[in-house]
């Protein structure tokens, strides 16, 4: 029992300090560290234990540069969109300052993406999935249930290993080019691009999230949860 109490503290500290780290040093990641991070991904649960995902560990300068060339312009568009949306909102100075810092870190990532020692590209094959929301009258999302569990394990492992990382999906907008750059077969989809590396600054730390009371409901949607 004492043993698991200790584990609890560590696990919760890990989760509560896993923030997006966008300023990465180019230093290489030792093979044994990388292997443990990938092993964490492999342990994740997936529908029917099919493990319908694969991860491409991109390390060559040429392939990383190809991904950076695709990502850069999409990031620039996203920044424009975010700044305009934000100016239309009546946000206070503190919130504006925070957005500014986040976007500056994102600019840094976009400018230096090819210098990250490793870019992980998670791909998945929908033919290996039973996507239960595929026939509904809304956009499908359930396919992600067999991939982002592994992605979250990956990021938690990075945090535990002292590696910085951030989950990005902007590359999907130009998926055909991404697939060409990494020889990904037609049937496979790209779900997550995760640049990882040792942080320039202190890396992980406090995160800003809504409280449980804003996210959990009691028995029915909208009923305040106070348990």
Look-up: residue for tokens 């592994």?
A: 150
CB of 200 to a copy of itself, least distance (A): 19
* CB atoms inside a 10 Å sphere around CB 73: 13
What SS3 class is residue 119? Answer: strand
**Which 8-state DSSP code applies to residue 165?**
E
Which position among 89, 92, 183, 202 is part of the footprint of a copy of itself (CB under 8 A)?
183
Nearer to a copy of itself, 112 or 194 (CB): 194
**Which 8-state DSSP code applies to residue 168?**
B
Restricting to residues 55-74, name those near a copy of itself by CB under 8 A.
Answer: 55-60, 63
Rounded Cα distance between 23 and 165, Å, is 9
Q: Give the count of residues interacting with a copy of itself (CB under 8 A).
A: 101
Give 118: exposed, middle or buried? Use CB within 10 Å, 0-12, 13-18, 19+.
buried
Interface with a copy of itself by CB under 8 A: which range of 88-96, 108-116, 197-205, 214-222? 214-222
- How many angstroms separate the Cα of 37 from the Cα of each of 30, 40, 117, 150? 11, 5, 14, 10
CB of 212 to a copy of itself, least distance (A): 5
CB of 32 to a copy of itself, least distance (A): 9
180 contributes a contact to a copy of itself by CB under 8 A: no
Nearer to a copy of itself, 44 or 200 (CB): 44
Look-up: residue for tokens 């982002």?
A: 148
Nearer to a copy of itself, 93 or 127 (CB): 127
Restricting to residues 21-50, name those near a copy of itself by CB under 8 A.
Answer: 31, 34-36, 38-45, 47-49
Restricting to residues 111-170, name those near a copy of itself by CB under 8 A.
Answer: 123-124, 126, 131-136, 138-145, 147-149, 151-153, 155-157, 160-162, 167, 169-170
**Which 8-state DSSP code applies to residue 141?**
-
| 176 token code pair | 């055909």
């Amino acid at each position: 029992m004492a043993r698991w109490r200790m584990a609890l503290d560590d696990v919760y500290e890990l989760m509560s300090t896993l923030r997006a780290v966008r300023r990465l040093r180019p230093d290489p990641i030792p093979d044994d560290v990388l292997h443990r991070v990938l092993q964490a991904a492999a342990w994740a649960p997936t529908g029917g234990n099919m493990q319908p995902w694969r991860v491409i560990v991109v390390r060559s300068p040429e392939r990383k540069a190809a991904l950076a060339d695709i990502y850069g312009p999409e990031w620039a568009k996203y920044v424009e969109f975010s700044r305009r949306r934000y100016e239309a909102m009546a946000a206070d100075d503190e919130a504006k300052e925070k957005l500014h810092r986040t976007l500056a870190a994102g600019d840094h990532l976009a400018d230096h993406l090819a210098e990250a020692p490793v870019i992980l590209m998670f791909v998945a094959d929908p033919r290996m999935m039973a996507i239960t929301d595929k026939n509904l009258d809304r956009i499908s999302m359930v396919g992600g249930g067999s991939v982002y569990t592994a992605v979250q394990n990956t990021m938690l492992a990075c945090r535990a290993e002292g590696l910085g990382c951030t989950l990005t999906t902007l590359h999907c907008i130009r998926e055909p080019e991404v697939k060409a750059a990494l020889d990904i077969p037609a049937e496979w989809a790209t779900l997550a691009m995760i640049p990882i590396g040792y942080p320039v600054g202190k890396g992980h730390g406090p995160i800003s999230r809504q409280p449980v009371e804003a996210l959990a409901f009691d028995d029915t949607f909208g009923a305040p949860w106070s348990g």
